[in-house]
Amino acid sequence: MRSRNPSGNSSATRDTLSTQTLQQLIGWLKDGTFKPGSKLPSQGELVERFGVSRTGIREALQMMSALNLIEIRPGLGCFVKMVSSEDIINSDVMGILLEKEAILEVIETRIIIESGIAALATERATAEDWWRIEDVLTQIDRTIQRGDSVARVAVEFHYALAQASHNCVLAKLVRSFTHLMAKAGELLEASAVDVAAFKKHELDSHRELYEVIKRGDPERSRAAMIQHISYSEDLTVKAFKHAEGVEVPPECLTGV
- 198 shares a domain with 81: no
| Distances from the Cα of 113 to the Cα of 17, 161, 228, 237, 255, angstroms | 26, 12, 13, 20, 24
Confidence of residue 17 (pLDDT cuts 50, 70, 90): low
**What are residue 73's DSSP bridge partners?**
77
Question: Which strand (E) or helix (H) includes residue 78?
Answer: strand 77-80
Both 194 and 151 in a single domain?
yes
* Residue 73, H or E segment: strand 70-73
For a pLDDT cut of 70, what percent of the chain falls above it? Answer: 79
In a domain, 2, yes or no: no
107 and 131 housed in the same domain: yes
**118, part of any domain:** yes
Q: What is the mean pLDDT of residues 205-213?
A: 97
Least confident of 121-130, 178-187, 209-218, 247-256: 247-256
Residues 201 and 82 in one domain: no
**Residue 4: what pLDDT?**
40
Q: Please answer whether residues 100 and 187 qualify as being in contact, where contact means their C-beta atoms are separated by less than 8 angstroms.
A: no
Strand-strand pairing, 70-73 and 77-80: antiparallel
Domain match, 116 and 69 both: no
Which residues lie across from 71 on neighbouring strands?
A: 79
Give 163's contacts (C-beta < 8 A, 6+ positions apart).
129, 132, 171
Model confidence pLDDT, tens digit, residues 53-79: 888 888 888 877 876 778 889 889 999
Structural domain count, the chain: 2
Residue-level pLDDT at 65:
80
Same domain, yes or no: 178 and 198: yes
Of residues 19 and 202, more confidence is placed in 202
Residue with the larger pLDDT of the pair 175 and 29 = 175
Is 165 found in the same domain as 110? yes
DSSP 3-state of 88: helix
Mean pLDDT, residues 83-98 = 55
Q: Which phi and psi (to 5°) does residue 73 adopt? A: -105, 110
Task: For residue 174, give the CATH number of its domain.
Answer: 1.20.120.530
Same domain, 106 and 71: no
Domain boundary, last residue among 74, 92, 110: 92
Residues 34 and 159 in one domain: no
Shared domain check, 228 and 150: yes
Domain around 77: 10-92
Q: Is the residue at 5 inside a domain?
A: no
Of 22-31, 155-164, 239-248, the range with the lowest mean pLDDT is 239-248
Boundary (domain end) residue, out of 39, 58, 92:
92
Contact 200, 143 (CB under 8 A): no
Domain check: are 83 and 125 in the same one?
no
pLDDT at 172: 95
Say if residue 256's pLDDT is above 60.
no
Residue 4 belongs to some domain of the structure: no
Q: How far apart are alpha carbons 159 and 147 in whole angstroms?
A: 23
37 within a domain of the structure (yes/no): yes
Residue 207 in domain? yes
Closest to 128 in 3D by CA, of 175, 153, 163: 163
Decide if 3 is inside a domain: no
Say if residue 82 is in the same domain as residue 147: no
| CATH classification at residue 66 | 1.10.10.10
Q: Which of 92, 107, 130 is the last residue of a domain?
A: 92
Q: Where are the alpha helices (DSSP H) in 2-126?
A: 10-30, 43-50, 54-66, 85-97, 100-124
Cα(151)–Cα(163) distance, integer angstroms: 20
- DSSP of 187-224, one letter per residue? HHHHH-SSHHHHHHHHHHHHHHHHHHHHTT-HHHHHHH
Judge whether 30 lies within some domain.
yes
CA-based Rg of the chain, rounded to a whole angstrom? 20
Q: What is d(CA 39, CA 58) in angstroms, rounded to the nearest whole number?
A: 15
Q: How confident is the model at residue 12 (pLDDT cuts 50, 70, 90)?
A: very low
* Residue 24 or 243, more confident: 24
